[in-house]
Chains A and B, each alone.
Chain A
Amino acid sequence: MAKRTDPSRFFYQPIIAVLSLTSLVLTVYVVWLSLRDLSLMRAGRDTFVGIDNYIRFFNDPRGLWALWRTVLFTVLATSIEVVLGLAIVLFLDRNFALKRLVRTLLLVPIIMTPVVVGLTWRFIFDPASGMANYLLSRLGFDAMDWLGSPQVALYSVLIADIWQWTPFVILLSMAALDSAPSDPLDAARVDGAREWQVTWYVLLPMLRRAIAIVALIRAIDSIKAFDLFYIMTRGGPALSTETLNFYGYVVAFTNFEISYSLTVALILTIFTNVALLAMYGVLFPKNGEPR
């Protein structure tokens, strides 16, 4: 009963109430709009259409492909960034002269706005005068059409995303690593464990929570990724980089179909929540602390 008398509730309860009310009202409004056929080109002439928009989505190959691309992009971006980030952290986990400088430099991509990152990479990937093809030519390979080929474009955007967000993984894992006790590692070494065993069986399990949080944040961000796609490819060529988030944007701001766009957004939200809950369940098992 201590909770009831805790005076700090006067600070957080009103905020929680306002926040929940806002999201509740907005969600209800969005759901209501998604049951109509509101279009900016037919203002005032919208009617109630029930679940037609939802049926339309599941019969809309363009939307379903976009959903698949979102899944592909999220899985690849998150896993590569986490694995790569961890590898770099383990590599950097020693004392060397320029450690502070390296840490500061790692912040640069995170601080840059995605628009600048997108433009920079668009120039790097320019087929005629970009640095990427120059590098390939120096290495003796043929020029690649990085953003103009539907087989490659999504991965080119992925490279930019990895470049920008791997440092974020590094930073958070580094902080976790620094605050982790070093005694268990020493104990394992005294017991005769090899260095890779120390890393795999002792160090990584200690970082598990931090890694899980980082992976969750990255997954949420990748699902919502928009800026890089908007700047680098605009969903092209041949729809090969159109994610569900981008498709929702096109439906709303190119086709002006507000209701269908909100339907797409709602479906994305539902999928995201289900996926993240599942991920959360795996990363943070209910019974007991992670081993």
Chain B
Amino acid sequence: MLNRRIFMTATTAAAIFACLSAPVFAQDKPFDGVQLSVLMEGHPTTDAIQKLLPEFKTVTGIDVALEVVPEQDITAKMLLELSSKSGRYDVVQNNIIYVPGFVKNGYIVPLDEQLAKYPQFFDKADFVPGYFNTNVVDGKVYGLPVYGESTFLMYRKDLFEQYGLTEPKTFDDVEKAAKTISEKTNKEIAGITMRGRQGIEGVYVWAAYLWGMGGSFLDENGKSNLATPEGTKALDDFARVLKSYGPVGVANFGWEENRLLFQQGKAAMTLDATVNGAYNEDPAASSVVGKVGYVPVPVQTQSPKGGSSSLAVHSLYVTADSQNAEAAALFAAWATAKEQQLKSMASDPNSGVTSLTALNGESFGKRYGAFKEAMITAINQGNPQYLPTIEQANEVINNTGIAVSKVLAGTATAADALKEADQANNAAIGR
């Protein structure tokens, strides 16, 4: 018992001493002892940052309480806190499509002043410009990109060679190739596979068809304008190629199912996120290593209203109600600095780095060389408006997803489904 009492006393004394002595070391660490609450997405980059947090503590003395939530739930979770001005989170991570709404509502704050104080972490010139600029609103920097990706078309070089096909440049080429391979292999190998699941999954891929055919989500007046000839053709073609030459059950395919099918060599083409390249080229999980060609997302028209490859950027933002805004900005700068990005590539499968140093580094080339060039082309052509970036983005995507799903399931024609989506979207936009 005595031992235990001594132990307790010693621990308490040590704790008190630690508290008292903290200010002594504070000169070069103005934020020593500060607690930051950070909300991030479940993603390889987040795992990597989590592993590096002790280093951040050593350098700055800041304690970071990191909360990790699946991407699909993160917006609702942060909005509940942001809208009630609880100050629960100092730093949050989200997709750029929400930035305009967040800025308009005053949920997040500009970081220019704070970032200027930390040149050792913040180096604007080192970010991929296409990623960095998505966070600039009215000339002010609101966030720093953690990871980004685009989309491209992946095709099986070996099968294309076997059946005398050339790399697809238009959606007609895609359909022709899908038809050939599906017929020649007697449907053993699906001509093409894409995500068909209702919701953002299906819309994220279908939007490539929409832009590539010359359509767009919104017209010049900001109204939903999907039921145009271009939009209808985009949906008709997307559904037809999947229904005729796609795998069974494609209407319920999410990112995972789609990726697995292609990795297993059961499909000749897929159009999806650039991160899939990292999975295709992973010998431990993929049977198509080295057999995949990567080309930009096809376009059908000579004059599209916007690029047909996406630009998805996930960034760190500092909340308006944070009590430690400067420490929060410091964390955002540190977490996205090139040193951390280089380390993250070593510890986790991260092909979405946003630092040019990391992207052009040796390690990236060695791991992801097979699709690096196609990925950079896709990013440079990436369309920041690929998904609508308005306050009601989520609802517009949801309504559009219903239209895509209905046509894919054969319960409505493209024209009717898109007209219905337009009505629902415009009701939401007008609300």
Chain A contacts to B: CB under 8 angstroms: 37, 39-44, 62, 126-128, 143, 145-150, 153, 233-240, 250, 252-257
Q: Which of A42, A44, A237, A255 touches B394 (beta carbons < 8 Å)?
A: A255
Going nearest first, the 8 A-B pairs with the smallest beta carbon separation are: A127-B249, A236-B198, A43-B83, A148-B251, A127-B248, A40-B79, A148-B252, A238-B409
Contact (Cβ within 8 A) A238 B198: yes
Q: List residues of chain B with CB within 8 A of the CB of A150.
A: 251, 409-411
Sample (28) of A-B pairs whose CB atoms are under 8 Å apart? A39-B431, A40-B79, A41-B105, A43-B84, A44-B83, A127-B249, A128-B249, A145-B252, A148-B253, A148-B409, A150-B411, A234-B198, A236-B197, A236-B251, A236-B405, A237-B196, A237-B197, A238-B251, A238-B411, A238-B412, A239-B405, A240-B411, A254-B76, A255-B398, A255-B428, A256-B76, A256-B79, A257-B395
Contact (Cβ within 8 A) B402 A127: no
Contact (Cβ within 8 A) B405 A41: no
Q: Which of B79, B197, B261, B398 touches A41 (beta carbons < 8 Å)?
A: B79
Cβ distance A7 to chain B, nearest Cβ, rounded Å: 44
In the complex the two chains form, what is the Cα distance from A133 to B209 in whole Å?
32
Chain B contacts to A: CB under 8 angstroms: 73, 76, 79-80, 82-85, 101, 105, 196-199, 247-253, 257, 261, 266, 391-392, 394-395, 398, 402, 405-406, 408-412, 424, 428, 431
Q: Which of A37, A145, A250, A253 touches B251 (beta carbons < 8 Å)?
A: A145
Contact (Cβ within 8 A) A145 B249: yes
Q: Which of B73, B249, B395 touches A255 (beta carbons < 8 Å)?
A: B395
Contact (Cβ within 8 A) B252 A238: no
Contact (Cβ within 8 A) A237 B198: yes
Q: Known contacts A41-B105, A128-B247; is A235 also within 8 Å of B198 by CB?
A: yes
Contact (Cβ within 8 A) A145 B248: yes
Contact (Cβ within 8 A) B251 A254: no
In the complex the two chains form, what is the Cα distance from A237 to B410 in whole Å?
10
Q: Known contacts A41-B392, A239-B406; is A127 also within 8 Å of B412 by CB?
A: no
Contact (Cβ within 8 A) A253 B76: yes
Q: List residues of chain B with CB within 8 A of the CB of A250.
A: 398
Contact (Cβ within 8 A) A37 B197: no
Q: Known contacts A40-B83, A237-B409; is A147 also within 8 Å of B198 by CB?
A: no
Q: List residues of chain A with CB within 8 A of the CB of B412.
A: 238
Q: Is the interface of B mostly helix, strand, loop or mixed?
A: helix
Q: List residues of chain A with CB within 8 A of the CB of B406.
A: 238-239
In the complex the two chains form, what is the Cα distance from A226 to B167 in whole Å?
44
In the complex the two chains form, what is the Cα distance from A39 to B431 in whole Å?
10
In the complex the two chains form, what is the Cα distance from A238 to B199 in whole Å?
10
Q: Which of A42, A43, A128, A234 touches B197 (beta carbons < 8 Å)?
A: A234
Q: List residues of chain B with CB within 8 A of the CB of A40.
A: 76, 79-80, 82-83
Cβ distance A158 to chain B, nearest Cβ, rounded Å: 16
Contact (Cβ within 8 A) A128 B409: no
In the complex the two chains form, what is the Cα distance from A150 to B85 in whole Å?
42
Cβ distance A160 to chain B, nearest Cβ, rounded Å: 14
Q: Which of B395, B402, B428, B431 touches A239 (beta carbons < 8 Å)?
A: B402
In the complex the two chains form, what is the Cα distance from A41 to B428 in whole Å?
12
Contact (Cβ within 8 A) B248 A128: yes
In the complex the two chains form, what is the Cα distance from A253 to B402 in whole Å?
16
Apart from A128-B266, A149-B251, A149-B409, list 14 A-B contacts with CB within 8 A: A42-B105, A43-B85, A126-B257, A145-B249, A148-B251, A148-B409, A237-B408, A239-B405, A240-B409, A252-B76, A253-B73, A255-B398, A255-B428, A256-B394
In the complex the two chains form, what is the Cα distance from A234 to B253 in whole Å?
12
In the complex the two chains form, what is the Cα distance from A37 to B392 in whole Å?
14
Q: List residues of chain A with CB within 8 A of the CB of B250.
A: 148
In the complex the two chains form, what is the Cα distance from A171 to B89 in whole Å?
46
Q: List residues of chain B with CB within 8 A of the CB of A148.
A: 196, 248-253, 409
In the complex the two chains form, what is the Cα distance from A119 to B266 in whole Å?
22
Q: List residues of chain A with CB within 8 A of the CB of B249.
A: 126-128, 145-148
In the complex the two chains form, what is the Cα distance from A146 to B428 in whole Å?
33
Interface centre among B249, B253, B431, by most chain A C-beta atoms within 10 angstroms, is B249
In the complex the two chains form, what is the Cα distance from A255 to B101 in whole Å?
13
Q: List residues of chain B with CB within 8 A of the CB of A153.
A: 252
Cβ distance B245 to chain A, nearest Cβ, rounded Å: 15
Cβ distance A8 to chain B, nearest Cβ, rounded Å: 41
In the complex the two chains form, what is the Cα distance from A238 to B76 in whole Å?
23
In the complex the two chains form, what is the Cα distance from A253 to B70 in whole Å?
13
Q: List residues of chain A with CB within 8 A of the CB of B80.
A: 40
Q: List residues of chain A with CB within 8 A of the CB of B428.
A: 255
In the complex the two chains form, what is the Cα distance from A214 to B199 in whole Å?
36
In the complex the two chains form, what is the Cα distance from A126 to B254 in whole Å?
12
Contact (Cβ within 8 A) B251 A43: no
Cβ distance B16 to chain A, nearest Cβ, rounded Å: 41
Contact (Cβ within 8 A) B247 A233: no
In the complex the two chains form, what is the Cα distance from A62 to B105 in whole Å?
29
In the complex the two chains form, what is the Cα distance from A180 to B391 in whole Å?
62
Q: Known contacts A143-B248, A236-B252; is A43 also within 8 Å of B82 by CB?
A: yes
Q: List residues of chain B with CB within 8 A of the CB of A41.
A: 79, 101, 105, 391-392
In the complex the two chains form, what is the Cα distance from A234 to B257 in whole Å?
15
